[in-house]
Amino acid sequence: EGSGADAATGAGTAAGVVAAAALLQPGKASLASYASGSGADGGWQRFGLASDADETGSSCDGSIIDAGCVPVSSLLDSALLAMWEERAEQGLFRYDVTACPTKVVPGQYGFVAQLNEGRYSKKRPTEFRVDQVVQTFDPAKFNFTKAFKREVLFAFEPAARGAASSFEEGARCSASPSVVVINVSPIDYGHVLLCPRVLDCIPQVLAPDTCLAALHFALEVGNPYLRVGFNSLGAFATINHLHFQAYYLQAPMPCERAPTAPLARITPGGAAAGSAKRRRPDSGADSVLVSRLCDYPVRGWVVEGPSLAAMAAVVGEASQAMQAANMPHNMLIAECGSRVFLWPQRYAERQARGEVPEHLLDVGVNPAVWEISGHMVLKRAEDYENFTEAAAWELLAAVSLTEEQLAAAEAMLFGVHGAGRSSLDGGMAAFEGKAAAAAALEGAQGAEPMMV
Amino acid sequence: MPIVFASSKFYEMTGYSPDEVLNNNCRFLQGPETERRKVMEIRDAIREDRCCQVCLLNYRKDGSKFLNQFFLSPIKDDQGIVTHYVGIQTDVSKAADMLQTPGALQEQQAAVAFGQAAGCRMCDVLMQQQDVAAQLHQQQQQQQAATQQPQEQQQPAGGAAAAPPQQQQVLSEDEDVVQLEVQHACAIHDAVQQCHPHAQCVLPSSLLQPLMRIQQAFVLADPRLPDCPIIHASPQFLRLTEYSREEVVGRNCRFLQGPATNPEHVQQLRTALTADPPQAVTVTLLNYSKSGRPFWNALHVAPMRDAEGKLEYFIGIQLDVSEAALQEENGPAAADGMPAAPGKVHLSTRMAHYSVTGAVRVACRGLSGQAGGLRRSMDCAGLPRRGYSRSLSIDGGSAAAAAAGGGGSVDGGSRRTSSGSGLLPVVGTSGAGATELPGRRQHSAPGVNGVGAV
């Protein structure tokens, strides 16, 4: 149940096995490759920015450009839209998502509500425990090697060094392709699933290298209205096979509007999460800024950095720390890979304890990354008609960690002590922070784990 | 949105020259440490056709950084259409430097710093900026009124392209603007690039901006207006058909048909588009450019829904496949110079059609007749706090549309087919509860409503 991914139609495993056989051979697929090396001169990707900006995540062409000019759609953006539209005409989706009414709820944040009865009408039985973030991959359960071949749009991989981005029909992909698959119960237009190294059967957990693939995808599409999201198990992922979701919505997500308060600058290194060694006093050119999200119903962090690789390292390591602590979490990549939102959540835990009010349960929304970002897919017309910003706030507040819990998490993940209220500074505070972080770490280890 | 005018203070502040600034957009001021959220603010202000004030880090040409208190304001013509945006920049770095805070600078810090150190309160700067913007509004509206007359007397061809340079010239000669230049850095961005004000482009920015991203020949037509006229045509369409925008907008695109156009092809289009609900259709048919040149047009027409799921527009995407037809051996070349009939639609043609369709679907999904779709409606208020921008009250583009369409309404229940070989007849059927066909695109349509009171 819920808003997790929902890849293949029904439980047609027999037909699915045939498709898997086709996928197992690295055979022909449409291939979208992205220029990944620095100094790559992929003409369509650059939009005229200096060449040394290519490697950097925050010089995302899409977001910069869209601040008012006439950019050109990227190759991946066009290909994604085209192939999705084609599948729609072929009738592969369970319903026409463009016929689902959508509106912005009055208020400052502009929460987006959608009435979508079709998405909930065929519920996939939950096959996974909601109290465990890391579970081993089970090939007997549904996974993306069983997806129908016609639902696979293309493979996505780095281009040869120095080559431009390209899109080839019927090309040979690598032995371990990352594929893009349609979501047949879309939340909005263009809803796809990115499955990195699909044949390696990775469970639904984040790691630096897979985060990097998702960031590259966001950058390559170059459209700030396409975000990439991730739900861990226990945070309403329904399939334990590594996948990210993405779709187009031509409006800012409410979380993107919320202010942030700088928390720490982290230079990613080999050090384990929580080690104070990672927080160096000098903010080097490769340091990633981690900020606290403020004035938003779900407490969390925003990661912004000078390069995709650095951001992926920080986000991946933070996720691994949360996995170790059995903390369910969600992640959103916004602004074409320049901003990553990270939220630990506890809705399932509170549900299990009976702490969620009945009227919220009745709405029937399981708060995954899109709901947390502010896009609410509702299944009852009366909820849609009467939806308010206050209602959205109430639902999302039940998802959030408390201030104390988040502070403990911060200490564990980023080595920060002080509840994120201190403004960012270099120098002395870092050294003070080391001692405090070590103390907090000890404290966190002694504390109760997040999930029962 | 290219810059069509920048004051000399702007060049001073940023270190760029007119060549580097004019006809570009101001993204060149942004860099690695520019806060992405502020960039989103600006983008969203444009999407919602409103003002915004943000304090963000910008970069001069030499790479040095400065803190830019930036005010953006739309300029609308008398029909309520946004034609330009005014951007005003104030360098507030000095005040921030005096506080010596490295790393990310917050708006509040800058405001406090500015107030303490510079002896001039932040709100004064903001009010000054609003004043400047108001003055520039007036200027611009006067210019528009002034330039409209000479434009009317010009030949229709090439009218649109001439507009920006002319405006630029007139502005720099204006006394008041010269005064403004001395004190404030500002720039004017053309919001409706190459779209002549006369052409009745009644589209809101939230639709026009994404449409301008598309580098292919296409038109948008409005089935709620009489005879389903074209309301937007891309520059590539105008190039392909050799018409000017004025000759095209407001007309049904059957004018592209000619003597040798096969009526059966036209009938295929009509059948699909007058179905209930209307269906997407791809047809290759013979069309004619303004000079009478025939060409094979691989045409894809699809219905577009707004945020409520109601039929809003039709999009038509044109591809000239005459050359491909020549290369294929599909029967003998016709006599009298007609291009040979093309074969089936190729993959790249399909991709071209569908990518445009998809992009416009995303854009139209943000539109809604009454409520403004995915745009927030907020009270008109003063200065923003904490990085949010409060919008002015918004009127949806549909109000302007009604005005432009002359209040033409369609009877619900009557179906009007055009005489002769109509390409895009008005779809005037009343909304019927279509049966749900699982998985197919054409189901669960709320139906096409008559215009009524738009």
Q: How does residue B205 score in pLDDT terms, banded at 50, 70 and 90?
A: confident
- Residue at A244 is within a domain: yes
Q: How does residue A429 score in pLDDT terms, banded at 50, 70 and 90?
A: very low
ipTM of the complex as predicted: 0.76
Q: What is the DSSP string of A354-370?
A: T-S-HHHHHHT----HH
> Is B32 close to A81, i.e. CB distance below 8 A?
no
Choice between B439 and B259, residue whose per-residue pLDDT is larger: B259
**Which residue of chain A is at minimal alpha-carbon distance from B358?**
A81
Domain that holds residue A196: 74-156+175-269+287-414
pTM: 0.75
- Residue at A20 is within a domain: no
The region of weakest confidence among A5-19, B10-24, B312-326, B351-365 is A5-19
Choice between B99 and B185, residue whose per-residue pLDDT is larger: B185
In this prediction, residue A31 carries a pLDDT of: 59
Nearest-CA distance from A150 to chain B in Å? Answer: 14
Which chain A residues are within 8 Å of B446, Cβ to Cβ?
A: 99
How does the average pLDDT of chain B come out, rounded?
Answer: 67
CB-CB: which of A82, A112, A283 is closest to B351?
A: A82
- Residue at A44 is within a domain: no
Tell me the range of A376-385, B66-75, B396-405 where mean pLDDT is highest. A376-385
- Residue at A436 is within a domain: no
> Is B213 close to A72, i.e. CB distance below 8 A?
yes
The CA–CA distances, whole Å, from A3 to A95, A361, A366 equal: 16, 14, 6
Number of domains in chain A: 1
Choice between B397 and A35, residue whose per-residue pLDDT is larger: A35
- Residue at A407 is within a domain: yes
The region of weakest confidence among A69-78, A156-165, A414-423 is A414-423
Q: How does residue A405 score in pLDDT terms, banded at 50, 70 and 90?
A: very high
Nearest-CA distance from A390 to chain B in Å? Answer: 16
- Average of per-residue pLDDT across A90-119: 91
Contact status, residue B148 vs residue B196, Cβ threshold 8 Å: no
- Residue at A141 is within a domain: yes
Residues of A identified as active-site:
243
Nearest-CA distance from B21 to chain A in Å? Answer: 13
> Is A68 close to B85, i.e. CB distance below 8 A?
yes
Is A27 in a helix, a strand, or coil? Answer: coil
Please tell me the distance from the alpha carbon of residue A291 to that of residue A301, in angstroms, as a whole number: 5
Which chain A residues are within 8 Å of B44, Cβ to Cβ?
A: 251-252
Please tell me the distance from the alpha carbon of residue A292 to that of residue A341, in angstroms, as a whole number: 10
Give the best residue of B36, B105, B350 to mutate against chain A (max A CB count within 10 A): B36
Statement: residue A63 has pLDDT above 80: no
In this prediction, residue B82 carries a pLDDT of: 74
Q: How does residue B90 score in pLDDT terms, banded at 50, 70 and 90?
A: confident
Statement: residue A129 has pLDDT above 60: yes
Please tell me the distance from the alpha carbon of residue A134 to that of residue A40, in angstroms, as a whole number: 37
**pLDDT digits 0-9 by tens, B126-179:** 667 777 777 777 776 676 666 554 444 433 333 333 333 333 333 333 333 333
> Is B376 close to A106, i.e. CB distance below 8 A?
yes
**pLDDT digits 0-9 by tens, B96-129:** 664 445 444 444 444 444 444 433 445 566 667 7
The CA–CA distances, whole Å, from A150 to A14, A32, A391, B5, B416 equal: 15, 17, 39, 51, 40
Give the best residue of A46, A49, A69 to mutate against chain B (max B CB count within 10 A): A69
Contact status, residue B75 vs residue B82, Cβ threshold 8 Å: yes
Tell me the range of A16-30, A271-285, A413-427 where mean pLDDT is highest. A413-427
In this prediction, residue A422 carries a pLDDT of: 41
Radius of gyration of chain A (CA): 21
In this prediction, residue B270 carries a pLDDT of: 92
CATH number of the domain within which A264 lies:
3.30.428.70
* Count of H-run helices and E-run strands, chain A: 15, 15
How does the average pLDDT of chain A come out, rounded?
Answer: 76
Residue A405's Cβ-side half-sphere holds a number of Cα atoms within 13 Å equal to 18
In this prediction, residue A409 carries a pLDDT of: 94
- Residue at A439 is within a domain: no
- Residue at A278 is within a domain: no
**pLDDT digits 0-9 by tens, B325-374:** 666 545 444 444 555 555 555 668 888 999 999 999 999 988 765 445 67
Statement: residue A148 has pLDDT above 80: yes
